[in-house]
Every structure is written in structure tokens, then in C-alpha cells.
Structure 1
């Protein structure tokens, strides 16, 4: 294991100390718990949005706490859920009098702990609504879509809900923006190498030298096939075929594209893949409104990528275009 760390068991807290030291003007923690990560710029009367999940996916989840996006994040250990108490303490801190929306990935531990935190908040008179991201097409069939994993496409949910909250939307309106985004997002991912969890000190799965895994999850969950590495054009074709079969997009409709690196894939390669996707969408006469390329939801140092499509209407375009600023993400309006 080659990593820039101190003790493996201190990986998450040491990372957080570094973030707070570098960005103390933008983010802070509460209740003497480094893992209760919040914006330093609370806005009275605004719907607060809270997320959470395991370390190992930067900039997901905590990287989207900031202006125009989220207000707090529960930070778990590597690939582990934050506790219900942490989520509750964050919620109390960021509540600005207009209610709270929880947005998080569709994983058992997260669901359980966010549900407990919501119950605790309700006992304090804080209104909470919840929604889970579930955009990973290959993780479950369309008939069982509620079981799908939440992966990089959750960025679009954050963006739409965050923009609506920043514009003064009510809790119901912010939830509706997140729900509408969720209904129109699909993601396909693939890995080329495993990653190493610091406390394990070894890879969490294996792939051959010239082997890739289509549909692999961001925690190493099994994909739909393992086989020879495909070209960028072939990866784009299979990813889009899978997405468009599940979520048909008509000729002339507009979409946003998210090409996301999993941690060890160069930006050059991501742009090669993005070009292949754009070419194939243009051939189908599907209009591309906006393209996002970079690392949005990683898996430690896993090589690979994911492709997300979001089908758009005029309102969603405005929400995607709204300004946002965090230590990890900056978008001008």
C-alpha cells in the first residue's frame, strides 16, 4: 500500500483536519466532532440541505457543501455511513427555520441512520424531508429501480435542489426539484483497476492486467460483466445504449452530460470519453445543453469512469446554470 497517510485508522480525521485548515472561511465542524461538516455561511430562512456518506469518494459527499449547493454533511469512515447522532447534530446546526432536506445515496446504513436522525429532528420540531439518489442503471433492473445504487448522478440532484433553496424555495419546492432531477438521471460506470482501503491495506477486489468491469460499484460491488478493456467509443456506445434503453430520450430533447473519473483516470482520458459520448448523442440528434467533465464521485484511487445523463426542461436548465461555490466546486452563474 502506497499512500500519503499517518496511521490508517486516522485517515478520515486527518483528511478533515487538512480541509478545515485550508478552508476555515468556508466550512467548519460542530459538537467537537470533525465529522459533523457544515458550511460556515449559514443563511437565515433558507431550506437547509444535508447529505452524508463514507470517505473515499471526494468530492462526494462533503465537497458539495457551500453556496448554492448543500449546508452540511455527515462524514463516515472509508466506505462507511456516518452515524445518526452526527447527522442529527449537523441538522440542528444548519437548520435556518425553513426545514431540512436530506439527500443521500441508496445504501442500507445511510438510509437507517438518516431515518433515525429525521425522527430525532421531528421530536425537536424541525421538519425534515428525505430523498435518496438511485441512478446506477446496472445495479438493478427497471422493475426494481428503487434498489439501484446512488452514484455520481446525485451531483445533479444536489445542484437542482441547492439552486432552488438558494432562490428561496420552500421545503416542498426544494424536494420537488430533487425529485424531478432524480426521475431524469441515469448513470453507467465501469472500473479498470481496484482501489486500496487504508485500514485493509490491500485491494478490495482484483482485475486482470487487460481486464475491466462494466457496472462495478463505487465500493467494489460486482458489475454486469468482466472482460477485455473496450475503446472509448465502445465504452460510450455501451453506456449510452444502457442509459437510453432505460430512459428514452427523443431526438431534439436536451440533456446534460456528466463524465466522472473514479480517482485514477487522467483528465485527458475523460475528455476522450466525453468526445465519444458527444459524437454518439449528436448522431442520435439528442441536443447537449451542458457537459461536466472531471472528478465528481470517486472511489479512492480506482481507475475508471462513469457516464451520467440528465434529461432537461427549461426549469432544470436554469437550476443547473445557477452559481455555486464550495472548496471543491466553483460555477459562475
Structure 2
């Protein structure tokens, strides 16, 4: 293993210290395990909080800022944060209008955010939760009961964050987040395994001429392994799976598309994949209204990518286009 680190045990706090140094607009509390907007939450505005195991950067801490998240709770690598972190984040950002938890569907995250919501209620903080479960690769996995939460997490955080910023109430912000999740489908393919600092070796064995189709962002198994094939064929296979599950999406619809690198894939390859996705959707009369290409929901150094397609509903585009200013996502501000 070759990684930039001091020790495996201090990898996360060292990384968070670097985040704090690079982004003074964030308040990084390593004692409580939270990353919070330094300017705080405007009185009477809903706050949006998310979190999960580290290793998926820039998710979640990289999306803390104006127009998106008010706070994030980073757990250890591929490990859920604990309820005390989530309660600390909720307490730090609540301004009296309640807090929305955006939770990826992984068992530890779900249980711990539920416990944190109960603790917040005891402290007179109203909490609602959006559960993200957009991955259509498998129904149940090593880390989950039900579908995994992946690329659509970014869509939910952006659109819900914009709704909170314009002053929507908690029920409305939560409802929008759930609609975005329901309108989104994702699927990922791995070319290599990732290596966690603590393990020091790849998380699974993958022969040089094989790929994992439907991999999870922690390296969980997918649907199957198959031989590497040309990108055009592979993207067509993935898109057919996504569209087959997305029965409400058809000709004439608008979409938001994310072609997301898993951490170890060159941007040139991601653009190549996006080109194939765009062609595939165009052949079916489906328009891409907005798109992102790059590393947003990663898996450390895994080579591979995920594709997320969200069917646009009113007012998704208006909220997507609203100003955002975070370390990893910014426009219009």
C-alpha cells in the first residue's frame, strides 16, 4: 500500500485538520466529530445535516456550505458516525425550524441517525429524515437491508439544501428530498478494489481482466463479475438496468445525470462514459437538462464509476440551479 498518511490510526483526524486549514469557512470540531458552516444557520431556517463513514469524499463534508448542508458527521473509514456526533451536529445548527437528516441506506447509518433523532427530540429539536436508497444493483447487501444509498445522496443534499435556504418549512424540505430520491436510480461498476488505510491491502480480489458489475461504495459485491468489455457495451448494459427499473422515465422527459468517479478513475475516462450515457439517453428521446461529471461519491482509490439518473420534476431544476458554495460544489454564488 502506498498512501499519503502519517499513521493509519490518525488518518481521519489528520485529513479533517487539513480540511479545516484549507476551508476556514467551515468549523471542524474533531472532538465532537462534526463539520459545520462557520456562519451558522439563519434564525427560523431549516437546517440540513448528513453524514456517514469517511472514504467517500467529497461526500459529505465537502458539501457543507451555503445552499447545501449545514453540517456533516464524518465517521471512521467506511464506518457510521455515532449518535452523539449527529446530536452534536443537530444541536449546533438548529435555529428553531427543525433539522433534516439525509441518511444513506446502510444499517449502521440508519440505526445511529434514528437514535440521534430520538435524542434530538428529547432536546426539543424537531427532526425529519430522508432515506436515500437509489442503487438498483442489488436489493440487499453486506451493509444494508434494502437498496444502498449512493449517488442520489448528492442530488438530495443539493435540492433539499436549496429548499431550506429559500425558507421552506421542514415538512416541505423533507418531502422534496424524498421525491428526489424516488426519482433517482444509480448503478456502479468497479475495475479495481479499494484499499483502506487500516487494512493495507485491497478489499477484495479482482482479476486483471474482470470487473465487478453493481459494486457498492464500500466494496460490497455487485450482481456478478464479468470480463472487461468496451465502454460502449458496458454503459449500454448499465443504462438498460437503470432504465428498466425507472419505469416512470421515458421519451420527452428531462433528467439530471451524474457520472461519478469512485476515486481512481481519470477524468478523461469519466467523460468518455458520460458521452456514452448521453448517446444512450438521446436514442430514447430522454433529455439531459443538467449534468455532473467527476469525483463526488467515491470509494477511496477504487477505479470505476457510478451512473445516477434523476427524472426531473417541478421544482427540481429551479432548486438545482440555486446558488451553492461548498468546497466541492459551487455555482451562482
Is TM more than 0.5 here?
A: yes
In structure 1, distance between residues paired with 2:309 and 2:265: 20
Q: Does the CA-based 8 Å contact 2:189-2:213 persist in structure 1? A: yes
Alpha-carbon deviation of 1:137? Answer: 0.2
Counterpart position of 1:51: 50
Counterpart position of 2:147: 148
Counterpart position of 1:159: 158
Q: Does the CA-based 8 Å contact 2:32-2:88 persist in structure 1? A: no
Counterpart position of 2:15: 15
Instruction: Please give the residue correspondences for 1:1-333 in structure 2 after superposition, counting only pairs within 5 Å.
Output: 1-24=1-24, 26-30=25-29, 33=31, 35-42=33-40, 43-140=42-139, 147-248=146-247, 249-332=249-332
Alpha-carbon deviation of 1:280? Answer: 1.0
Alpha-carbon deviation of 1:45? Answer: 1.6
Q: Does the CA-based 8 Å contact 1:16-1:35 persist in structure 2? A: no
Count of residue correspondences: 328
Alpha-carbon deviation of 1:146? Answer: 7.1
In structure 1, distance between residues paired with 2:9 and 2:325: 31
Structure 2 residue matching 1:14: 3-state secondary structure: helix
Q: Does the CA-based 8 Å contact 2:156-2:177 persist in structure 1? A: yes
TM-score by length of 2: 0.96
Unaligned runs of 5+ in 2: none
Alpha-carbon deviation of 1:104? Answer: 1.5
TM-score by length of 1: 0.96
- Give a deviation string over 1:209-268, Cα, whole Å, max 9, x none: 111110010111111111111222112211111111111212111111100000010110
Alpha-carbon deviation of 1:314? Answer: 3.3
Q: Does the CA-based 8 Å contact 1:196-1:301 persist in structure 2? A: yes
Structure 2 residue matching 1:113: 3-state secondary structure: helix
- Give a deviation string over 1:165-215, Cα, whole Å, max 9, x none: 011000011001101101100001010001111011111101111111100
Q: Does the CA-based 8 Å contact 1:194-1:302 persist in structure 2? A: yes
Structure 1 residue matching 2:315: 3-state secondary structure: helix
Q: Does the CA-based 8 Å contact 1:134-1:146 persist in structure 2? A: no
In structure 2, distance between residues paired with 1:60 and 1:330: 14
Structure 1 residue matching 2:20: 3-state secondary structure: helix
Alpha-carbon deviation of 1:323? Answer: 1.3
Alpha-carbon deviation of 1:151? Answer: 0.6
In structure 1, distance between residues paired with 2:233 and 2:332: 34
Unaligned runs of 5+ in 1: none
In structure 1, distance between residues paired with 2:288 and 2:207: 35
- Give a deviation string over 1:87-137, Cα, whole Å, max 9, x none: 101110011111000001101111111111111110111100011110000
Alpha-carbon deviation of 1:34? Answer: 5.8
In structure 1, distance between residues paired with 2:230 and 2:165: 41
Pairwise CA RMSD of aligned residues? 1.4
* Misfit runs of 4+, over 2 Å: none
In structure 2, distance between residues paired with 1:230 and 1:34: 46
